[in-house]
Amino acid sequence: MLGVGAVPSVILGIVVLAMPESPRWLVMQGRLGDATQVLNKTSDSKEEALIRLAEIKEAAGIPMECTDDVVQVPKRSHGEDVWKELLVHPTPAVRHVLIAAIGIHFFQQCSGIDSVVLYSPRIFEKAGITSSDHKLLATVAVGATKTVFILVATFLLDKVGRRPLLLSSVAGMILSQAALGFGLTVIENTHHKVMWAVALCITTVMSYVAFFSIGMGPITWVYSSEIFPLKATSSRREFGSGNE
């Protein structure tokens, strides 16, 4: 059973081999032609691809009139100026961005998702599920719920928007945790098994994981990668690997 966890990792490893390099990294290497091809594949239209390419070229210091497939990229610093701008002498706008990025990661970790996922067998045991097979089945259902709703979030992020999904995610997590606490309290104070309370605990664990997976989980990483200025992200990635 434990070996089943290797299957998604193998699939991910195979899929990563087919992933294109980041357009920003390609531009930083002077490979405008390759960057244009990647942007054409990942943009809704060629006009959008050209706009994104122009923004990256500007951040990289490449003249707009350069349209060759391979160009010479101006030498840049190792990112010292960027770190100073972010941490030492940030402008009010950059300071707000930094606080927002750190804050959303802080609250993601404080949400308790790791405790719920890792200790779900303990939670189900407290809820009155004593059979090892039933606890294992419920734990597998938690993992399956997380996976399914991450896929749901993938399709909703651009259609619904980051903010509505994040707010609905947090609201759903709060309600789920409150209902779970209520169900566990009823079970603890009752001397016999209360089936509706057991069902409530199982349902709320699933709903908590589902709400986390459509908002707080994926949006934290998407949001923090989008709000920083393009100049800062391009400079910091100059010396990274291509597959970002």
Contacts of 68 (CB under 8 A, 6+ apart): 32, 33
The kind and range of the H/E element at 53 are helix 46-60
The predicted structure's pLDDT at residue 178:
92
Is-contact 153 213, C-beta < 8 A?
Answer: yes
**pLDDT, average across residues 79-84:** 62
R_g (Cα) of the chain, nearest Å = 23
The predicted structure's pLDDT at residue 244:
39
The CB density around residue 145, as the number of other CB atoms within 10 Å, is 18
Is-contact 186 126, C-beta < 8 A?
Answer: no
* Cα gap 218→221, rounded to integer Å: 6
Greater confidence, 4 or 237?
A: 4
pTM over 0.75: no
Look at residue 240 and give its three-state secondary structure: coil
The predicted structure's pLDDT at residue 169:
92
Contacts of 129 (CB under 8 A, 6+ apart): 135, 138, 198, 202
What does the pLDDT look like over 201-242, one tens digit per residue?
889 999 999 999 998 988 888 888 778 766 655 444 443 333
Instruction: Using alpha carbons, select from 192, 195, 39, 180 the residue that is nearest to residue 122.
Output: 180
* Cα gap 48→44, rounded to integer Å: 7
| Residue 78 identity (one-letter amino acid) | H
Domain regions of the chain by residue span: 2-75, 92-226
**pLDDT, average across residues 77-90:** 65
67, pLDDT greater than 80? no
What does the pLDDT look like over 123-168, one tens digit per residue?
888 888 878 888 888 888 888 888 889 888 888 887 888 888 899 9
The kind and range of the H/E element at 145 are helix 132-160
What does the pLDDT look like over 105-124, one tens digit per residue?
998 888 888 888 888 888 88
What does the pLDDT look like over 8-53, one tens digit per residue?
778 878 888 888 888 888 888 888 888 888 888 888 888 888 888 8
Instruction: Using alpha carbons, select from 119, 124, 216 the residue that is nearest to residue 165.
Output: 216
The CB density around residue 76, as the number of other CB atoms within 10 Å, is 15
Contacts of 169 (CB under 8 A, 6+ apart): 211, 212, 214, 215, 216, 217, 219
Pick the CATH number of 92-226 from 3.90.1150.10, 3.40.50.880, 1.20.1250.20, 1.10.3720.10: 1.20.1250.20
Instruction: Using alpha carbons, select from 138, 150, 133 the residue that is nearest to residue 205.
Output: 138
* Cα gap 62→97, rounded to integer Å: 26
pLDDT band at 75 (very low <50, low <70, confident <90, very high): low
| Residue 229 identity (one-letter amino acid) | P
CB burial of residue 108 (10 Å; 0-12, 13-18, 19+): middle
